[in-house]
Structure 1
Amino acid sequence: MDWLPHITVATIVEDNGRFLMVEELKGARAVLNQPAGHLDPNETLIEAAIRETLEETGWDVEPTGVTGIYLYTAPSNGVTYQRVCFTAKALKHHPDYQLDDGIVGAKWLTRDELLEQRDNWRSELIIRCIDDYLAGNHFSLELIRPSL
């Protein structure tokens, strides 16, 4: 059997205790996630995080660090994802930006508000990343080494 893990990025953007989240359609239901997505060919992880955040939220961001690198196997389909989670600061919002297909919109939510909506999480990774961020896991962007 071929095992093909998916490389993904996610971005934690925090503003006064609220986190930039994405409401997106997965199947026929709306779920919450960080701005996140797959690494594209010929793209760095940092470029992917910036692109995915813009495409899913309409926000330009500047990555400031790495929160963690996570391995997750989705129980729904058995696919394994390696997620590199970045922290970033919001720079500019583009309210008229055409968001990716399947994106309902962006929301700013506190951790408590996220916990109230646990049934709507795309995966357990969203709270794990936020909790790691809140615990002070902020690693330098120098951790990410682009290809030669």
Structure 2
Amino acid sequence: MTERYKPNTTVACVIHCQGKFLLVEERIKGAIKFNQPAGHLEANESIIEACAREIVEETGLALSPQAIVGIYQFSASDELAFVRYTFCIELSEQRQALPLDSAIITTHWLSLAEIIALGSQLRSPLVVKSIADFVQQADKNHPSQHTPLSLLNVDYF
């Protein structure tokens, strides 16, 4: 019998303000990588709570997800796979982010072009994909065109 497929459940948040996106710079196995504030779902927390917790840990900002950008399935290798719930937050002004997590070196407000230019320094292809999806979904006259949080059933918590 084949071993059961068990992808990691992760969360991430596209944080946007005036054409810039908040990324974290982190050290992963000795290499510098850039990602949205992101991490794993922990026991006894909802997907939305996990996202809010990761934002605080990685940026020091107490922010709550406003909407869903997408749910992505990604295989980093034959042994490592993820189901990533990506949320978004639209801010009216950029805030200084001070990471609490020691694995985070610093944070950066970057344009999409600057993020794309990071290339192989991005943690995964989902960094650009989720930002591109966020931009595509955003309507200048109606910025709340993203999927509402109510899509996720969190009544069990």
Counterpart code for 2:8: H
Deviation at 1:78, TM superposition (A): 2.9
Structure 1 counterpart of 2:153, from 135, 145, 148: 145
Moved more, 47-56 or 58-67: 58-67
- Counting strand residues as a fraction of each chain, which structure ranks higher? 1
Consecutive aligned runs of 4 or more in structure 1 exceeding 4 Å deviation = 90-95
Counterpart code for 2:29: G
Moved more, 125-134 or 57-66: 57-66
Task: Confirm whether residue 44 of structure 1 aligns to residue 30 of structure 2.
Answer: no
Q: Which ranges in structure 2 are unaligned for 5 or more consecutive residues?
A: 139-145
Deviation at 1:7, TM superposition (A): 0.5
Counterpart code for 1:57: T
Contact 2:99–2:106, Cα closer than 8 Å, also in 1:
no
Deviation at 1:40, TM superposition (A): 0.7
The 5 A counterparts of 1:62-77 are 62-75=64-77
Q: Which ranges in structure 1 are unaligned for 5 or more consecutive residues?
A: none
Change (3 A) 1:147 1:55: same
- TM-score, normalised on structure 1? 0.90
Change (3 A) 1:98 1:57: closer
Contact 1:10–1:35, Cα closer than 8 Å, also in 2:
yes
Deviation at 1:64, TM superposition (A): 1.0
Moved more, 82-91 or 49-58: 82-91
Contact 1:7–1:82, Cα closer than 8 Å, also in 2:
yes
Distance 1:33 1:98 in 2: 13
- The number of aligned residues is 146
1:34-61 superposed Cα distances (whole Å, 9 cap, x missing partner): 0000011110111111110110011121
1:71-127 superposed Cα distances (whole Å, 9 cap, x missing partner): 00113x6311000000124599576x5521311111111100011111200100000
Tell me the residue number matched to 1:132: 133
Distance 1:47 1:74 in 2: 25
Structure 2 counterpart of 1:60, from 59, 62, 79: 62
Amino-acid identity (%) = 34
